[in-house]
Each structure stands twice: as structure tokens, then as C-alpha cells.
Structure 1
Amino acid sequence: MGEKKELVKPLVIESVIDAVSSQGAELVKSTGMGMIGSIATDAVASFIPGLGNAYMSYKQSRLQRNFNTFEEELVGRITRLDELFKLKNTEQKEELDRLCELVLGYVGDEPQEEKIKYLVTGFMNIAEHEKITEDFVLVFYDMLRDLRIIDLTVLKLYGKNYLNEPDENVNNYQDVLDVHGISYEQYETIRRNLVRKGILTTKTDVILEKDLEEIEKAINELQKSLSMATNPKNKSKLPTLKKVKLKSKDRLELTKFGKDFIRYFLEELS
């Protein structure tokens, strides 16, 4: 009664582990078609026969490239994934399998092949946890789906202090402009978009004490000037009032969600 139920159906993640373990990245590269990619493209061809040939060709080609890249990225981590899978109980294995199916869906739909490595890193971090909810995975992967490579480069810049191995090629905003060939105005648009998505936020860097001192000094000078101006006996030239320069300023920083996001997709926990 108290024993855990045995798995009664083959798991997708077991097929992934077996496929990648048996092939390896070199075989995928040499044949141009990994096992996962082959299964996926065959499935598209058989289940959606009514689509036009041009669209089918594009869809199959993208699926093939994406799943080949997925296997290549996973092959160096497959031993660790297998170890993690074997350490889990039956319930955890089934949960990880459901999440694997979700991730494979994102892999198949991803228009930017370069982002596949981040999908794999995220999945490895999923496997490292004993329990992780489907909603949590969907929130993070939906956000990654909506971001482009250029957005992730900007996040690497803001995440340099939060990653164990920051990108050495991205040290300032000029590096972002040079890498992607964009203008500063376009860079600003990307930053504003990341603020809207809740990944970056405005931080008020308040040097409050110095600002208050400057305001107090300006008020005192204004009072002195008014006193002189209203004194009929005063023959002196009124002093020139100085413009108050406050040092407080707004700047952007990662939100807590943003920090969790970059750690989740840009760096493995193991």
C-alpha cells in the first residue's frame, strides 16, 4: 500500500537520454540529423499533411536544426542528467518527464537557434531540483521565448556581478553596440523593453545627505539675498545665486526576478 507506484509507460526523458548517449554530438554533426530531430520532423509531416510544401519544408528544416543543436548541447551533460534522473523517485521522474516535454516544445518552436543552449541550461537546472512546479517552468521559459539574443546580451551586461562566469566580451554598453551593430537609441529601446517585462527596474541612487546639504545651503543663500534686497540701507550688489546640483540619479538594475532569470538560463547550478 505504502510503496511508490512503478512507471507504467516509457518516459520521454529516457528516450532523450538514450538517444543522446548512443549518438553523441559528432554523429549528429556528421549525419545532419539527430534521432530526436528525426522523430520530430516525421511527426510534423504525418500529423499536418494539409500544409503547403513551402511551409512544411521550413518547419521541418527548423525542427531539424533546433533538435540537432539541442542534442549537441546536451551531449556533454548527458552523464550528469542520467545521474540526476536515476536519483529521483518515481513521482519525481514523472514530473521531470512532463517538464522535459514542455522544454522540447520550446526547442521545436524557437526561431533563434543560438538560444537553444540557454534552453538546455535551464533544463539542466530543472533536473538539479528535487521539486519544481510546472508553473515556475512556464513563467521562465515563456519569458525566454519572448526575448531575443540581443536582449540576453544586455542582461549579461547587467548580470556581471551575479554570475560566477560572466561574459568577458560584454563589459559595457559599447560592447553590446559593437557585437550587435546597433545604435545607442536601439540599446535604450531594449532596456526600456526589459523594464516593462519586469527584468530590469529603476534604482534611485540617493546620496540623500549631500543633496539635503546642497538644498539647505541654497535656501540659506536665498534668504540672505532676500534680506539684502528688502533692506533699504543695503547698497551692496546682490550675490548671484548658484544653481543647485543634486547628485541623486536614476539608473537601471536587475530585479529579483531578473537575477533569478539569468542564473537559471545563463549558468548551471552543478
Structure 2
Amino acid sequence: MNKEIKEKFKDNFDIALNGGASLLGDCLSNVLLAHVAPGIVTTYLSYKQKRTEKMIMSTLDEFKDRINKIEEQLKNMEGNEFDFVKNTAFPIMADFIIDEPQEEKIKFIVNGIESIVTYRITDEDLILTYFDVLHDLRVIDIKELLDINNFKSESNQVYVSSSQINESEAVRKHIYKKLEKYDLILVTRLIGEVEGDEFTISKNRAKISSFGKNFIRFITKLDD
């Protein structure tokens, strides 16, 4: 896998835009190749290394179709903006990629770094906040959040009491509670809930919060 990663770097990032040196390739190689170990000692380390290398390969695949666009953005940056992206934003991204157990989330992390580059985001606390939330969400949570964001309200919605909640509905309620905990959605309270009763939670009861809208924009680039 080490050889495959290095070959992918060479093929994708050595030469970009009119034959010039690739700034994106330089940023990525500095933070990702350091995680490619020359040798493996134990079975556990071998498992972790293979997972790390798999995540790196997925990351490079995600960047492949964005090279020219991001490269142009990097070249147009002021010196201090580029230094921040190279020395702070990309290392933050790498840390989250290496620790991420779900490969499907890599695209959201890469979307985040593209948002940072595109919108010249240099607020480290803001970046860490978005990536921290993204790290704590599972793919199923993100999909539900995006479904809520695209949902059109329905009338005559029926809410089921706790005695009738099945396992699938219980899992969905847990997801909604988790999204609400991270201030990504707002959930309308029912009178019975105020009194201590439990009901199902549907998209009809939820809406995206201000923080949720910004977070979704950060991880999806929806306004492009």
C-alpha cells in the first residue's frame, strides 16, 4: 500500500496547472506521507496502519477531481493565508482523517478543507469546532441531517407514543437527539413531552439551526 500511495501522489500531484509545482501536493504530502510507516511490528499496528493507508488513498481520490480548482485558490492566496492553510488547516484535516473509522466520511472532511481554501477561513477555533462535530457524527447521523435540510413539511403528521415505538423509530429518535445535542437542529416539543411522555420524532418536527446551516455548508459546499 505504501508504494501505491506514493505512486498516487506522483501521478496526481507532482505536476499541476501548466507544468508548475503543485502547492496542493506539497500541502498533502507534508501531512499525509508522515503517517505511512516503513514497517509494521505487531498485528494491531498492522491493522491500524492498513486502515490509515486506506483512508489516505480515499483522501487522495477525493482530491483528484478538485486539484485544479484548489490549486488556483492556493495560488491566489496572500502569504499569511497560505501559511495558515499549509501549516494549520491541512495538519488539522490530516489528524481527523487518520482517526476517522468510517471511510464514507472522508468526502465530508475534504469538503471541509475545500471550504477553508475557497472562503479563506483562518479561524482555527471555527475549523476545529466544525471538524470536532463532524468527527462525533456517524454517517447515519449526517445522512439524516441532510435529509432534514432537504425536507418539505408535511401536514397531518401523526406522532406515536413510547409504548408503540419500534426499534427503528427508537434509533431515529436517538439520532435526532444527537443532532439536537450538537445544536444542528431544533426540535418542536409536544405537550406530552413536557409532561414526561415519549413520542417519535420525525422530520416534520425538526428544522436546521443557524449553526447547522453553516455546518452543512462547510461539509457539503452546497452553495457552489
TM normalised by structure 1 equals: 0.59
Write the distance in 1 (CA, Å) between the matches of 2:59 and 2:221. 17
Question: What is the alpha-carbon distance in structure 1 between the residues aligned to residue 121 and residue 104 of structure 2?
Answer: 28
**3-state SS of the aligned residue for 1:258?**
helix
Shift of 1:20: 3.5
- Give the alignment partner of residue 20 of structure 1, picking from 3, 12, 15: 12
* One-letter amino acid of the counterpart of residue 212, structure 2: G
2:211 equivalent among 257, 260, 263: 257
Q: In the alignment, which residue of structure 2 is the partner of 1:104?
A: 94
Larger radius of gyration: 1
Aligned to 1:62: 51
CA distance in 2, matches of 1:204, 1:184: 17
Q: Deviations over 1:60-96 (max 9, x none)?
A: 0111000000000001001111100100111111011
**Identical counterparts, % of pairs:** 25
1:265 positional shift: 0.5
Distance 1:152 1:269, change over 3 A: same
1-structure distance, mates of 2:215, 2:9: 26
1:184 aligns with 169
Structure 1 residue 202 displacement after superposition? 2.2
Confirm or deny that 1:144 pairs with 2:139: no
**Cα distance in 1 between the residues matched to 2:47 and 2:97:** 15
Work out the CA distance in 2 between the residues paired with 1:103 and 1:122.
Answer: 8
Q: Choose the corresponding residue for 2:183, options 192, 198, 217.
A: 198
Matched residues in 2 for 1:90 and 1:251: separation? 47
SS in 1 for 2:150: coil
Task: Identify the residue that residue 146 of structure 2 maps to in structure 1.
Answer: 156
Q: 1:131 to 1:38 in 2, by over 3 A?
A: closer
What is the Cα deviation at residue 142 of structure 1?
0.3
Residues 104 and 18 of structure 1: is their aligned pair in 2 closer, same or farther, counting only changes over 3 Å?
A: farther
User: For residues 22-37 of structure 1, what are the structure 2 equivalents within 5 Å?
Assistant: 22=14
Paired position in structure 2 for 1:167:
none
Q: Is the 8 A contact 2:81 2:122 kept in 1?
A: no
Q: Contact 1:85 / 1:93 at 8 angstroms: preserved in 2?
A: yes
The one-letter amino acid paired with 1:67 is I
Distance in structure 1 (CA, Å) of the matches to 2:214 and 2:127: 12
Q: The residue matched to 1:80 in structure 2 has which SS?
A: helix
Deviating above 2 A after TM superposition, structure 1's stretches of 4 or more consecutive aligned residues are 16-24, 34-39, 202-205, 267-270
Unaligned runs of 5+ in 2: 1-7, 17-27, 153-166, 191-203
Q: Does 1:41 align with 2:44?
A: no
Across the aligned residues of Structure 1 and Structure 2, the Cα RMSD in angstroms comes to 3.0
1:135 aligned onto 2:125: yes
Question: Compared with structure 1, are the counterparts of its residues 153 and 72 closer, same or farther at alpha carbon in structure 2 (3 Å cutoff)?
Answer: same
Unaligned runs of 5+ in 1: 1-15, 25-33, 163-181, 206-249
Question: What is the deviation of 1:269?
Answer: 4.9
Partner of 1:132, secondary structure, is coil
- Residue 133 of structure 1: CA displacement? 0.6
Contact 2:55–2:97 (CA under 8 A) maintained in structure 1? yes
Separation of aligned partners in 1, 2:76 and 2:174: 45
Q: Are the aligned partners of 1:17 and 1:78 in contact in 2 as well (CA < 8 Å)?
A: no
